[in-house]
Structure 1
């Protein structure tokens, strides 16, 4: 509870009503501590069973059954450490949990189960007074300091949500499975060593084989990943309406969908009359794209619809979404020129000029460039429709030819 409130700024990061973001923001800071506490308690509990000579007594229940019964309170504690911050975050933000958000929490609980098994294995063969704090410290270091290591693979294999999820994002299946493969393999190997008093050498060989196979298998899943956790986008539910164009927005902002559709139809009609582009099949909200923003195409325009509704400039956002270049890095001065002309055509020129004025205020060289941008756009608007269209098409081509 105290840990949650000390890290309250994490739980209140922007979530846009997206439940997986709420869960990750809440449990990310505490999962390393939860794993360490789980492993420490498991070592201590196994040591207690050994000191009580439970394994030497003629009991009817198997060692596994005894260990499971003893591990239930440990799992309840670790589960509470993870579930309570998530529950508090849901209450505090007013967001309802979803299946995808509970899957993220479930993965953390499975890792806790694995650490119980690892702690049992360590506690079975070592004195608990020594091994319990040592294992707890090692687990905490293994998880919490993974982001400080030189190897990106390390941070992806420990089951640590070290960065927030953006709206519409979810970790990929392999991102969730990789920590379970690594820690699960070690847990199974650890369990085989103490699970039965018979065939110790055979069980040790099998355990070694599982561990040796599990570690490279997990590493092979993450070795090509970069610094960030791989995610899939578009996971948030959306609502769509209309045709030619169809407009889609996330459920959280769908109350304004009819208004946005009306504005989208108006902007698309004005741009079509100006000869800029044909009416797109779909206009969708960039919010669902997460951190991996995609460019618009002729058929699909990607606009900041939710942000536009909030700021009152949704027409401006739709107009700019129609602009896309045939290369990845177009010349920025030409981009601004084309954007100003498109925005002016849609009746949103003053909004883009304010953006240019802020850019011009940063440096004298910017001010000169902005003056030229405004001049070219103004002169183009004075020409006939056909000349404007030809000028615009040449501008798009020049943007890629003059790109650095």
Structure 2
């Protein structure tokens, strides 16, 4: 649309007229309706979705929209510059296709930095995630540097070499600067996680806090009850577990954070939806917090924990998923041997096995 407006002005001979307005003022006034219409194309769907859901946006949730509104101005300036020199019947459809291809296909090339400066936020955010400032400003800077570069070419000056030289400097500086900023991002931009309100209750007197997102807080009473039962079962088995916080991993988005001795992270909401909340807490209580525990020791320790917490059915279903039909007799035989030991020996074996599972 900007290219079309620019071409219309060129056909009308506006640039050859003697006028009291600067060419930048003429361009700005011509682009106002174009920019407003493009803004409406972004704002109306977002506003409609918010009205249908009956929620208010947060500042963090509006960041990608704000980025889009700013980049629209840059794209309008670029289109206006192209329409200044290329006939509008060519430039308008050509820019519509070329811009879409150039932006949309950045996620398909094996150069991750391109998707982080394309002008289109490349990720669909998961629950609890939000776009960080570091993930957004390169889009604005890259597109803005191109727009500023083409705008400098309009600048009237007695020295003909100066506008192209300044334009080239801005273009190179914008490209190098944004590349330097995003070259280490990989395929995912830096995201904020845990951006949701949480509700918490204490599982028992002086016990750990159990936290879920407010939107799933209806599962909190069951989560607190199951937590108390699991911790009681472990202590009766002479295995001490004293977490201060048991929190849901749902707000962590795609970047899971590891548990530690005082803070357990478990998929509580997802487990509650499967009616398997207690076993999710059992898995957290086992304490295999390393990234690649020994497969056999992992299975045996979880099987033992399921036995003492009376969640064997959940363990069997879990085992069927992780073993994918392979033989389970070794795990069952080892569990039978452990259960024949005294209570204190079982506790010692469990603590030692958890340590060894993460030692390799």
State the shift of 1:197 in Å: 6.6
Provide the residue aligned with 1:396 in structure 2.
Answer: 354
| Corresponding residue pairs, total | 357
> Cα 1:222–1:372, aligned 2, differ >3 Å: closer, same or farther?
same
- Secondary structure at the residue paired with 2:241? coil
State the shift of 1:301 in Å: 0.5
Provide the residue aligned with 1:26 in structure 2.
Answer: none
Provide the residue aligned with 2:332 in structure 1.
Answer: 374
Provide the residue aligned with 1:12 in structure 2.
Answer: none
Provide the residue aligned with 2:342 in structure 1.
Answer: 384
1:73 aligns with 2:36: no
State the shift of 1:231 in Å: 1.9
1:171 aligns with 2:128: no
Alignment check: 8 A CA contact 1:340 1:352 kept: yes
Residue 105 (structure 1) aligned to one of 45, 65, 69: 65
Provide the residue aligned with 2:295 in structure 1.
Answer: 332
Provide the residue aligned with 2:272 in structure 1.
Answer: 309
Alignment check: 8 A CA contact 1:295 1:324 kept: no
Residue 193 (structure 1) aligned to one of 140, 143, 153: 153
Provide the residue aligned with 1:275 in structure 2.
Answer: 238
Provide the residue aligned with 1:234 in structure 2.
Answer: 194
CA RMSD of aligned residues (A): 2.4
Residue 260 (structure 1) aligned to one of 205, 223, 229: 223
> Cα 1:195–1:270, aligned 2, differ >3 Å: closer, same or farther?
farther
- Secondary structure at the residue paired with 1:263? helix
Structure 2: give runs of 5+ residues left out of the alignment.
none
- Secondary structure at the residue paired with 2:265? strand
* CA–CA separation in structure 1 for the residues paired with 2:338 and 2:297: 13
Alignment check: 8 A CA contact 1:284 1:303 kept: yes
Structure 1: give runs of 5+ residues left out of the alignment.
1-40
Alignment check: 8 A CA contact 2:260 2:289 kept: no
Alignment check: 8 A CA contact 1:283 1:302 kept: yes
Segment drifting more, 70-79 vs 218-227: 70-79
* CA–CA separation in structure 2 for the residues paired with 1:196 and 1:266: 78
* CA–CA separation in structure 2 for the residues paired with 1:285 and 1:67: 53
Matches within 5 A, 1:324-363: 324-325=287-288, 327-357=290-320, 362-363=324-325
State the shift of 1:94 in Å: 6.0
1:284 aligns with 2:255: no
- Secondary structure at the residue paired with 2:256? coil
How far does the alpha carbon of each residue in 1:156-209 deviate from its partner, in whole angstroms, 9 at most, with x for none? Answer: 211224442221122332211111111111111112222557665433332222
- Secondary structure at the residue paired with 2:14? coil
Name the TM-score, length of structure 2 as normaliser.
0.89
- Secondary structure at the residue paired with 1:291? coil
State the shift of 1:352 in Å: 0.7
State the shift of 1:97 in Å: 3.1
Matches within 5 A, 1:95-134: 96-134=56-94
Provide the residue aligned with 1:21 in structure 2.
Answer: none
